Structure 1
Amino acid sequence: MRRQLLCFLAAVTMVLPAAAQSVTAVRYQYGDNAAWADPAFDDSSWPVASKGEFPGPRFDSDGFVWVRAKLQVPAVDGQPLALQCASAESVIDSYELFVNGTRVGQYGAFPPHAAPLIAPQILVFDIPKGIATPGSVATVALRGWTFPANRDRGPIGRTQYPISAGLKIDNALLLHAVAAETQARATLRSTPQLAVGLVFIVLGVIVLVLGFWSRSRGLFLCAIWLIVAPIFLSFLALVSVAAGADLRILGALFQVANGIGMGAALELLWTVQGYRNRLFLQFGRACWIAVTLGGVLMCSLSSAGPLVRTAIFVNDWGLFAFDALLVVANLWALAGRGRSRPFAAAMLIINIGYFLEVAGASVRFDFFPLDLFQTGFYLSIFAVAAILVRGVWKEWKQADDLRIEFAAGRELQMKLVPQNLPNVCNLRLNAAYIPAKDVGGDFYQVIELPDCSTLFLLGDVSGKGLKAAMTGLVTIGAANALAAETSDPAVLLQRLNREICRLRNEGFITCLCARVSVDGFVTFSNAGHLSPYVNSEEIQLESGLPLGLVQGVEYPATNIQLAPGDTLTLLSDGVVEAQSSSGELFGFDRTRELIHLPADAIAQAALTFGQADDITVLTLTFVPAEVPA
């Protein structure tokens, strides 16, 4: 019901008689003089406001402006009167109103203790009884003061909209209702913009968390833009609904948000487009830092002294240079030298909107309450969202490809490290394998020979992951083929080295080969691998170069005899090179202390200490009395 009444009263004001309007020209004068409130003052020499509008105070002035007009007082006997001061585009920050020389109200505070406030679109001041006689003509004077940061300051500062005082005397109830309705409409118009901004801010926060989690600079910059750009636009929308807020605080916050947005735009542009010119990037950073510091300073001080003058100069010219730089960068991207033309086009609209405002030719649209400058921001937000969607799709496809690769890798791993060890006469086998990644580069093979002896190979391919696993698989295939030709470990490694060198793979392979006869006689040959252990004693083997480095390497042989119950242990360097969080290595001493344990116990001890590489352990216990199942 209340809202319907307000709508009705707002409609009534559209058909009010002309007697409620100014009966003389609206005149204005810059400066400050208390005598100008006197109704007897002769203001005929003052300039006349064209269509009720006049330019804002210049920066080099004291910021004061007076407005005088004679208004018809409506014949509303017995009803309270009020004075309305309406201006949707006003840059007056402190108001003081006089009717017939009597002060009827004030909004904000004047120097030397200035307190500029954001004014609502319509200010209403009640007129005490006896000051304005119904049916008479009253002299109304407005004393206004403009904050230094809002004053007209030349070609680089954005051109100010003309001031329109919008003075009217009418029924107090009616004017208060119209003011409330106008403010409610302004809030309603701002709600969709604020709601859309909130959605993007929430999305930005989610992307920011993902950026921190994945340590992705691109995601982090996209998140900052998704958060800051809506906040920047929300500041513009809040101006119409944040009546009563301290202009200095809100202005400083706006400058901080603007500075963060400029920095994010610059870094995001260079990252998205893939630019490499560090000089331009450093120049852009210097500009946005200067704009931010100058803006915060000029919004914090109420006196237009040398410090504020310098801050405004730095802010204006820094912003001009920054936008000029971005125009060049975006045009460069649109010419095909960047990676994302839609993002460059959206950012270019922002730059064009800025320069049009500087030139006093701001483009506004009739079909939605945004100008070209704000539209560019929204388009850039959608462009960043599109970049994120495309990135998510690409990451999903890559993850799908990785899943396929890992599935193939797991199949390879089963061939590199057999899950089921064969039953070998007079030997009890035990193995443990813990890869550092999903697929490792360690391998071992058990090859049974026609003379009832057995070949054991344990190796380590340099590197990790699927590429190392593929190299290990090739090595195993070659070793199985060569084992049909020779069972001599030294000759086998020599021929295997020749095949690996012929393939010319990057990296190298360490490999230990051992042939164990049914009577426990063992022949070793080593290609750069760790020496084996018998019980708790390390066997000193003469070693040749790792496989795959140079052709023609000869590998010496070493023979030992196992006694019943002896355990031969082969392992990879992932055991001794296990590393704790403090950087301490597992080392040979700890390995020697645990070498009598089963293979899985040794591997688990290294893993618990701190895995740094693939861990492989193979144990062979000579038990001539046992018969394999």
Structure 2
Amino acid sequence: MRIEGLGKAVAPLDGPWQFHLGDDPNWASPSFDDSRWEKLTAERPWGEQGHPSYTGYAWYRLHLSLDSAPGNQTNFALLVPHLDDVYEIFWNGDSIGRSGKFPSYPIWYRSSDAPIIYPLGPGAPEFEPRLEHPFHGTLAVRVWKAPLLSEDSGRSGGFEGSPVVGYPEPLAAYKTTLDYQWLRANQFSFSEYLLYGIAGLLGLFSWLRDRQQRTLLWMTGFALSPLIRMVLYGMRIAWPVGVSNALGPPVSSIRDISLWFLLLWLLRLDDNQSLIRLVRRFAIVSLSVSILDGLLSLVDASVGWFWLIQIADALLTGIYFITATVPLALVALAVKQRRRLDLARRLLVIAAFLSGMMQVVQGLAPQGRRFTHWTLADKLREPIFHIYGSAVSLPTLTGIFLLLALLYTVYRTSVDDRRRRSLLEQEMSSARELQQVLIPETFPSIPGFAVTSAYCPALEVGGDFFQIIPLDGDFTLVILGDVSGKGIKAAIAVSLIVGLVRVLVENTHSPAQLLTELNRRLCGRMQGGFATCVTLRIDPDGNCTLASAGHPPPYLNDRELAIPGSFPLGLFPAVTYEESRLRLQINDHLALYTDGLLEARSKTGELYGFERISELFATLPDAARAAEAAVRFGQDDDITVVTLVRVPISKESTGIAADTRII
């Protein structure tokens, strides 16, 4: 091939090139006789020129004569576009450049579609024609094509565009033009992926602020996955194909799984636990299959048994695309159940259906197409229109539609969630106000006793309660209990119990009788729950009468009192309770507590336990110090402590007022 008068222009080497299947190192020599080789153009791969589905080695050769323009030197260079897959270029028998690594353990790069410039060495003097500035030699290109996978068309292999020759400066300018054209043609796609990335980062930062919002985590997985795939496949980064193909399927699976759980929530299907379990199983299958499919890409493609890998790839791909129909099934289920969907969710249903159908068709259409010769996959990628030179295809439009529909639906749902959360916070505030009424911060003085109390709810409102009620004849009733459960439900039960206690003390001052009547009224009204309780009646002389309904016994100084136990309140209506009596001496320390103190749990899972409680009360602490010790250890439940210390009665002072410490 002769090219004359090259100056600032560049010239394509479209051929014809001499072409031969197979591999022989002698074919790089300029003296080798290739006259009997067949002729192919470099504008199209060999799969479209009589060698469909061929994989393995092949060689291209071209005898080149260049006539430099007057005054120009013969420092030519060669720009090589995409070559499929591994190649090495020889000029007059010398290697001037390569891409990838030949078998065994071949490596080829995802960025091989980017044009690369290789400087040509000197021409061959013995072949120089009689020109003023001759440059003559032989280009030889050794190519290795990897085995085909299930979606390969069989039409690839070797050159996919003509190499270009010229001086380095014009060639560099030409490469810049090609790069600009590539960027311009992909600007719409880059904008789409950038939009995905922004949405994903916003979702990630929002989830980091509120880890309870799993929907934000699913939105992050859905939106960031396309951006990661663009980095793996679309950025001309020199990723080995094995690496990008190993990472790509799991990333796609994460996007699919994230979309499934988003649809469960946004289409209001998350109340169906059987459906959630089924989707989780599909998620496990999808992720497992995609990981296995990716690992197959790391197998040496040059082994003789690679056909087994091809079969496994086809089977795994088939399983993966069965799981890809999950969005269609969820949309169909939401429509069938006639879920009350607003405008945002209706748009999401349409977008998810279109995107799901597009994904399934795009995945299935290229499978086995070297046998079926279907062209649907290529037609789907054809541009519908162009925006400033950037092609916009149907998959791009459906992807953007789905993203916008998701963003809008997530926004509307988040607004509704904030509104519901605000109402819930108002209810919690009302519950806290109610609890402050039920557990007032200041109590009347108890003649002959110094009283301290501490209340530490595990949540905003708790299920512990205590009351100190003055009775006739300088008697005082102290009642402390614990309702099963936490939160608003427990707080409502507490309000019921305290109300009943206030009514019952009008008729009885006996602790045992009080518990018996309280138990009878609570049975059937606790919604499957129960309450433990300890009640005592004291007088200024230290006389104390106690009764317990399944509650931990009080501590007198450094020992636990032995009092009769019984069933908690609210379980069996016919239960009667027994009383115990004791007399407290001056400076005796009586401590009542709920089981939240006993069940405080450290970060390692260790309970506070009876031994530590005994050691704690042996120090005769006030209520605040006892409660804070358990909180520091690791609070796991509501904690309430009340201490009573008998003090001498003087004419000037008959008792010490009690204040509740709320921690």
Q: Provide Cα deviations, 1:122-173, integer angstroms capped at 9, x if missing partner.
A: 6454473564747999897553403415xxx376425555844425555554
Asked if 2 retains the 8 angstrom alpha-carbon contact of 1:259 and 1:291, the reply is yes
Q: Provide Cα deviations, 1:269-327, integer angstroms capped at 9, x if missing partner.
A: 553445543765555345313311111225xx4x3x3244433443344234422441x
Query: Does 2:638 correspond to 1:624?
Result: no
Query: How far apart are the structure 2 equivalents of 1:111 and 1:454?
Result: 94
Deviation, structure 1 residue 204: 4.9
2:56 counterpart SS class: coil
How has the CA–CA distance of structure 1 residues 407 and 110 changed in structure 2, closer, same or farther, with 3 Å as cutoff? Answer: closer
Counterpart of 1:587 (choices 607, 610, 614) is 610
2:443 counterpart SS class: coil
Q: Indicate the residue corresponding to 2:358 in structure 1.
A: 349
How has the CA–CA distance of structure 1 residues 82 and 222 changed in structure 2, closer, same or farther, with 3 Å as cutoff? Answer: farther
Q: Indicate the residue corresponding to 1:599 in structure 2.
A: 623
Identify which range, 575-584 or 225-234, moves more after superposition.
575-584
Asked if 2 retains the 8 angstrom alpha-carbon contact of 1:498 and 1:552, the reply is yes
Query: How far apart are the structure 2 equivalents of 1:192 and 1:453?
Result: 84
How has the CA–CA distance of structure 1 residues 213 and 90 changed in structure 2, closer, same or farther, with 3 Å as cutoff? Answer: same
2:72 counterpart SS class: coil
Deviation, structure 1 residue 461: 0.9
How has the CA–CA distance of structure 1 residues 382 and 469 changed in structure 2, closer, same or farther, with 3 Å as cutoff? Answer: same
Query: How far apart are the structure 2 equivalents of 1:336 and 1:381?
Result: 21
Deviation, structure 1 residue 460: 1.2
Q: Which has the higher strand share?
A: 2
Query: How far apart are the structure 2 equivalents of 1:424 and 1:352?
Result: 81
Asked if 2 retains the 8 angstrom alpha-carbon contact of 1:567 and 1:622, the reply is no
How has the CA–CA distance of structure 1 residues 541 and 103 changed in structure 2, closer, same or farther, with 3 Å as cutoff? Answer: closer
Asked if 1 retains the 8 angstrom alpha-carbon contact of 2:78 and 2:117, the reply is yes
Unaligned runs of 5+ in 2: 1-7, 265-274, 336-344, 368-373, 657-663
Q: Indicate the residue corresponding to 1:284 in structure 2.
A: 286
Counterpart of 2:56 (choices 53, 57, 62) is 62
Q: Indicate the residue corresponding to 1:542 in structure 2.
A: 564
Which residue identity lines up with residue 170 of structure 2 in the other structure?
L
Q: Calculate percent identity across the aligned residue pairs.
A: 20
Query: How far apart are the structure 1 equivalents of 2:366 and 2:79?
Result: 24
Which residue identity lines up with residue 575 of structure 1 in the other structure?
L
Query: Does 2:378 correspond to 1:364?
Result: no
Asked if 1 retains the 8 angstrom alpha-carbon contact of 2:17 and 2:60, the reply is no
Q: Indicate the residue corresponding to 2:338 in structure 1.
A: none
Deviation, structure 1 residue 458: 1.2
Query: How far apart are the structure 2 equivalents of 1:607 and 1:169?
Result: 79
1:293 counterpart SS class: helix
Query: How far apart are the structure 1 equivalents of 2:494 and 2:610?
Result: 25
Query: How far apart are the structure 1 equivalents of 2:163 and 2:119?
Result: 11
Considering Cα pairs closer than 8 Å and 6+ residues apart, tell me whether 1 or 2 has the greater RCO: 2
1:143 counterpart SS class: strand
Query: How far apart are the structure 2 equivalents of 1:37 and 1:259?
Result: 43
Query: Does 2:255 correspond to 1:233?
Result: no
Q: Indicate the residue corresponding to 2:21 in structure 1.
A: 30
Deviation, structure 1 residue 448: 2.3
Q: Indicate the residue corresponding to 1:93 in structure 2.
A: 86
Using the size of structure 2 for normalisation, the TM-score is: 0.74
Cα RMSD (Å) of the superposition? 4.4
Using the size of structure 1 for normalisation, the TM-score is: 0.78
How has the CA–CA distance of structure 1 residues 89 and 388 changed in structure 2, closer, same or farther, with 3 Å as cutoff? Answer: farther
How has the CA–CA distance of structure 1 residues 425 and 212 changed in structure 2, closer, same or farther, with 3 Å as cutoff? Answer: closer
Deviation, structure 1 residue 508: 0.9
Query: Does 2:38 correspond to 1:46?
Result: yes
2:240 counterpart SS class: helix
Counterpart of 2:179 (choices 180, 183, 189) is 183
Query: How far apart are the structure 1 equivalents of 2:191 and 2:579?
Result: 79
Asked if 1 retains the 8 angstrom alpha-carbon contact of 2:47 and 2:54, the reply is no
Query: How far apart are the structure 1 equivalents of 2:143 and 2:647?
Result: 101
Asked if 2 retains the 8 angstrom alpha-carbon contact of 1:532 and 1:571, the reply is yes
Which residue identity lines up with residue 639 of structure 2 in the other structure?
I
Query: How far apart are the structure 1 equivalents of 2:186 and 2:610?
Result: 68
How has the CA–CA distance of structure 1 residues 52 and 43 changed in structure 2, closer, same or farther, with 3 Å as cutoff? Answer: farther
Identify which range, 462-471 or 115-124, moves more after superposition.
115-124
Which residue identity lines up with residue 624 of structure 1 in the other structure?
I
Asked if 1 retains the 8 angstrom alpha-carbon contact of 2:82 and 2:113, the reply is no
Q: Indicate the residue corresponding to 1:439 in structure 2.
A: 461
Deviation, structure 1 residue 471: 0.6
Q: Indicate the residue corresponding to 1:261 in structure 2.
A: 251
Query: How far apart are the structure 2 equivalents of 1:594 and 1:157?
Result: 80
Asked if 1 retains the 8 angstrom alpha-carbon contact of 2:464 and 2:483, the reply is yes
Identify which range, 140-149 or 408-417, moves more after superposition.
140-149
Query: Does 2:485 correspond to 1:487?
Result: no
Q: Indicate the residue corresponding to 1:107 in structure 2.
A: 98
Query: How far apart are the structure 1 equivalents of 2:480 and 2:611?
Result: 18
1:271 counterpart SS class: helix
Q: How does 1:215-234 map to 2 (within 5 A)?
A: 222-234=219-231
Query: Does 2:488 correspond to 1:466?
Result: yes
Unaligned runs of 5+ in 1: 1-11
Asked if 1 retains the 8 angstrom alpha-carbon contact of 2:86 and 2:108, the reply is yes
